[in-house]
């Protein structure tokens, strides 16, 4: 059977190699996986590969040394570095070896497969590619929602990424003390411009102080929970909303947290259920928008407000004009 190309995956995380290998194989590639730098160099010397996916943090021989060895015999072989390494000097040194792209862990599988496809089609290995910045997850300051489960109890916090390394993710919460024991299960979710992402992991530790910090185990890969046809724009705009069945539109006050042509997130003082239909009105200094929206999901954060994810079912043309401002 003819394949799209031969891919060598080099990572010491065996499960990550399996997941990535299965995804690439399903997309039509022939995949070989190894778990240390020495094996990577040996495989490249003895077999033909069209592209190499290489971690920098490896046993027996580190990724930079392995990359140098590969370049000594295969100067034009496309290499994509996938790593959680935060060492700017190491990344700069990798760049001198002419790598095609840098992919930060955790990465989205679909985007990585697309990057492999684009790279393997390139006529010249000197072309440098890069994933869009919207796919770089867990950047410092990125907002993350943490839904903790411990027995029959559940509590939701919203925080922002304050630190990360190759194995852990630290989230700064806006409270002094968080009663979150180690080994608690936690469902993490975050929104990027292209999609909403979720994954489930466990708590490693909680450090309480002026602001609590929760440290969780970080996944190697993360899956899209929801694809978005339109990029979301973070905004803070007051909004009036009411049940769409209310003919008199007796409005209540809320606040838009993000907005797109396809939908919006609203912070409101009451719980609404998925499927509820809303009439909404909002405006900036130049445009006023009236629309109908359906509630897709609702969550309660650490304050008394609820955040609704809504999809527009009807909207004025002024919505597009407002977003184009």
State the fold for domain 6-134. Rossmann fold (3.40.50)
Residue of higher predicted confidence among 125 and 136: 136
Average pLDDT, the chain: 81
Signed CA dihedral, 236, 301, 179, 143: sign only: negative
CA 256 to chain centre: 22
So what's the pLDDT on residue 9? 94
Whether the pLDDT of residue 122 is over 60: the answer is no
So what's the pLDDT on residue 224? 66
Residues of the chain with CATH 2.40.10.220: 233-323
Q: From 303, 297, 308, 215, select the one nearest 256 (Cα to Cα).
A: 308
Q: What is the 3-state secondary structure (H, E, C) of the chain?
A: CCCCCEEEEECCCHHHHHHHHHHHHHCCCEEEEECCHHHHHHHHHHCCCCEEEECCCCCCCCHHHHHHHHHHHCCCCCEEEEECCCCHHHHHHHHHCCCCEEEECCEEHHHHHHHHHHHHHCCCCCCCCCCCHHHCCCCCCCEEEEEEEECCEEEEEEEEEEEECCCEEEEEECCCCCCCCCCCEEEEEEECCCEEEEEEEEEEEEECCCCCEEEEECCCEEEEEEECCCCCEEEEEEEEEEECCCCCCCCEEEEEEEECCCEEEEEECCCCCCCCEEEEEEECCCCEEEEEEEEEEEEECCCCCEEEEEEEEEECCHHHHHHCC
Q: Is the pTM of this model over 0.75?
A: no
So what's the pLDDT on residue 87? 64
So what's the pLDDT on residue 246? 67
What are the φ/ψ torsions at residue 121 (nearest 5 degrees)? -85, -10
Residues of the chain with CATH 3.40.50.2300: 6-134
Could you give the dihedral angle defined by the CA atoms of residues 231, 234, 236 and 238, in that order, rounded to the nearest 10 degrees?
20
Average pLDDT over residues 15-23: 90
Domain boundaries 233-323, CATH class: mainly beta
Share of the chain above pLDDT 90, in %: 24
Q: How confident is the model at residue 192 (pLDDT cuts 50, 70, 90)?
A: low
Distance CA 29, CA 111 (A): 15
Pairing of strands 101-104, 79-83: parallel
Q: From 76, 96, 140, 105, select the one nearest 16 (Cα to Cα).
A: 105
Query: Is 143-227 assigned to CATH 3.20.20.140?
Result: no
Burial grade of 216 (CB within 10 A; 0-12, 13-18, 19 or more): buried
């Amino acid at each position: 059977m003819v394949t799209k190309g031969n891919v060598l995956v080099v990572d010491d995380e065996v499960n990550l190699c399996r997941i990535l290998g299965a995804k690439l194989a399903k997309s039509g590639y022939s995949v070989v996986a190894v778990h240390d730098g020495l094996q990577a160099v040996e495989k490249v010397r003895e077999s033909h590969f069209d592209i190499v996916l290489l971690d920098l943090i490896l046993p027996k021989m580190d990724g930079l040394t392995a990359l140098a060895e590969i370049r000594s015999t295969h100067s034009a072989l496309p290499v994509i570095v996938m790593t959680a390494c935060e060492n700017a000097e190491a990344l700069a040194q990798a760049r001198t070896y002419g790598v095609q792209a840098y992919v930060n862990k955790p990465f989205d599988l679909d985007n990585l497969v697309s990057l492999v496809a684009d790279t393997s089609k390139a006529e010249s290995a000197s072309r440098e590619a890069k994933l869009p910045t919207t796919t770089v997850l867990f950047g410092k300051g990125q907002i993350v929602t943490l839904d903790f489960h411990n027995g029959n109890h559940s509590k939701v916090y919203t925080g922002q990424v304050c630190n990360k390394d190759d194995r852990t993710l630290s989230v700064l919460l806006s409270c002094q003390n968080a009663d979150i024991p180690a080994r608690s299960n936690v469902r993490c979710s975050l929104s990027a411009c292209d999609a909403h992402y979720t994954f489930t992991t466990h708590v490693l530790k909680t450090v309480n102080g002026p602001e609590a910090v929760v440290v969780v185990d970080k996944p190697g890969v993360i899956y899209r929970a929801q694809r978005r046809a339109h990029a979301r724009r973070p905004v803070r705009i007051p909004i009036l909303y009411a049940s769409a069945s209310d003919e008199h539109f007796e409005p209540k006050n809320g606040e838009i947290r993000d907005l797109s042509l396809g939908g919006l997130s609203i912070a409101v003082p009451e719980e609404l259920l998925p499927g509820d239909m809303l009439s909404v009105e909002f405006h900036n200094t130049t445009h006023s928008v009236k629309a109908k929206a359906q509630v897709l999901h609702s969550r309660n954060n650490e304050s008394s407000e609820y955040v609704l994810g809504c999809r527009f079912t009807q909207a004025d043309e002024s919505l597009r004009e407002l977003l184009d401002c």
